[in-house]
Structure 1
Amino acid sequence: MTSAAPAPLRRRADAAQNRAALLRAAEEVFTELGVQAPLDAVSKRAGLGRATLFRNFPDRQTLVMALLESAIEQITSESQRLLGTPDELIQLLHFILDRMVFRAPLVEYWQTSGRLQPEMQAAIASVMAIFEPVIQRAVAAGRCRADLVSRDVLPLLAMFSGSLCGCPLEQRDALAARTWVFAMDIVKPAPAQPPIKG
């Protein structure tokens, strides 16, 4: 018969579960109602009290930046899952675009927070680090333009978010599909040109 976990371990496990529940609830509430939605709605959606919310996230900015960190972790996990697949670069970009469709209010907030904030600088550096080896493999395999580098991902993501932010949910799928076409025109290698006849 196994003994129960020591009390400190149980408390740490409970704290981790509460934090995860708050992040899930915040993403849902902010996506549905906008980032300025009452924080009470977040704690209520998570089934936790206000004290638990503010113990984990003292203010709205801290909560939204924690969601940004969570989004980066999801991109990291997806890049690891796609490792070795033929079109990992294309699939990873599409993974991000799909999530931007539903997280447009959060993406817009992150953008307006300012790129010079330490959290935003860290997020940008993380994204570039994730894409660096992915792009190198794609270039080596001839699956993208030969001069593509990790920093080029930033204007691509800006194009994704710029087409979606401020748009109602029912319009985002069509806008995302159109934006994807333009993005692929930028990323994929140019078709070989027929020789010029003399």
Structure 2
Amino acid sequence: MTSTRSDAAARRALLLDAADAVFGEHGITAPLDLVVERAGVGRATLYRNFPDRASLVGAMLERTVKRLEDHLVELGDRDDAFFEVIDGMAARIVESPALADYWRAVDQDSPAISTARQHILQLMEPALLRAKAAGLCRQDMQLVDVSLISSMLGAALRGRTRAERAVLARRALQLLRPGLAEPAAGQ
């Protein structure tokens, strides 16, 4: 039974990876048959795991939040963890533009999005507090500002290719980092 469960989990992860790649290449409305083809599984496997596009995209959101949580655990008590997570947000926008654009366009008050946003903010709060305590981050930075930062980084979606998005994301980080830093005394 454990083998069956691990096989099912592996197929589910394969479908999520395939969806991420397909949506990144063809947009969030790409035919789900492309996801099935990329994953190398049958259509029934897709629909057994994800009855519709919304459940597939929802699972992708959950996985993104889980990856953020894992990244924060990996970073531990580092004072710069907050900034590392922001760098990770920029990288995700570069790698998964269709999904990032979808999250920006979807109703922010929908239960799934609202829950995910609140969970992300809760996860990031200790890192923000450590950065402020260490003098790495401006003292007036608030947790809700993370959504604003994410939106600013989202400007990288203007890039038509991965390389263009990477340049834009890198530049956005260059501009954002000084604004997030604690101002020098007398400024």
**What TM-score results when the alignment is normalised by the length of structure 1?**
0.89
1:174 equivalent to 2:167? Answer: yes
User: Which of the pair has more CA radius of gyration?
Assistant: 1
Alignment of 1:1-198 (within 5 A): 8-161=1-154, 163-169=155-161, 170-193=163-186
Against the structure 1 CA distance between its residues 86 and 136, is the aligned structure 2 distance closer, same or farther, given a 3 Å change threshold? Answer: closer
Moved runs in structure 1, 4+ residues, more than 3 A?
A: none
Counterparts of 1:85 and 1:132, CA distance in 2:
13
Counterparts of 1:182 and 1:118, CA distance in 2:
33
Q: Which moved more, 1:129-138 or 1:167-176?
A: 167-176
Question: Could you say which structure has the greater relative contact order, defined with CA pairs below 8 angstroms and 6 or more residues apart?
Answer: 2
Determine if contact 1:101/1:172 at 8 Å carries over to the other structure: yes
Counterparts of 1:87 and 1:134, CA distance in 2:
8
Instruction: Give, in angstroms, the shift of residue 58 of structure 1.
Output: 1.0
Instruction: Give, in angstroms, the shift of residue 106 of structure 1.
Output: 0.6
Instruction: Give, in angstroms, the shift of residue 96 of structure 1.
Output: 1.4
Q: Which moved more, 1:9-18 or 1:94-103?
A: 9-18
Counterparts of 2:113 and 2:2, CA distance in 1:
33
Instruction: Give, in angstroms, the shift of residue 166 of structure 1.
Output: 4.3
For residue 138 of structure 2, give the secondary structure of its aligned residue in structure 1: coil
Instruction: Give, in angstroms, the shift of residue 181 of structure 1.
Output: 2.1
Give the superposed CA RMSD.
Answer: 1.4
**What TM-score results when the alignment is normalised by the length of structure 2?**
0.94
For residues 128-165 of structure 1, the C-alpha deviation after alignment (integer angstroms, 9 at most, x for no partner) is 0111111111111111001222111110011111x122
Determine if contact 2:159/2:165 at 8 Å carries over to the other structure: yes
Counterparts of 1:85 and 1:113, CA distance in 2:
33
Q: Which runs of 5+ in 1 are unaligned?
A: 1-7
For residues 40-98 of structure 1, the C-alpha deviation after alignment (integer angstroms, 9 at most, x for no partner) is 11111111000010111111111111111111111111111111224211111111111
Counterparts of 1:13 and 1:172, CA distance in 2:
36
Determine if contact 1:104/1:166 at 8 Å carries over to the other structure: no
Determine if contact 1:105/1:166 at 8 Å carries over to the other structure: no
Determine if contact 2:158/2:165 at 8 Å carries over to the other structure: no
Counterparts of 1:9 and 1:177, CA distance in 2:
43
Instruction: Give, in angstroms, the shift of residue 186 of structure 1.
Output: 2.5
Instruction: Give, in angstroms, the shift of residue 184 of structure 1.
Output: 1.2
Q: Which runs of 5+ in 2 are unaligned?
A: none
Aligned-pair identity in percent equals 35
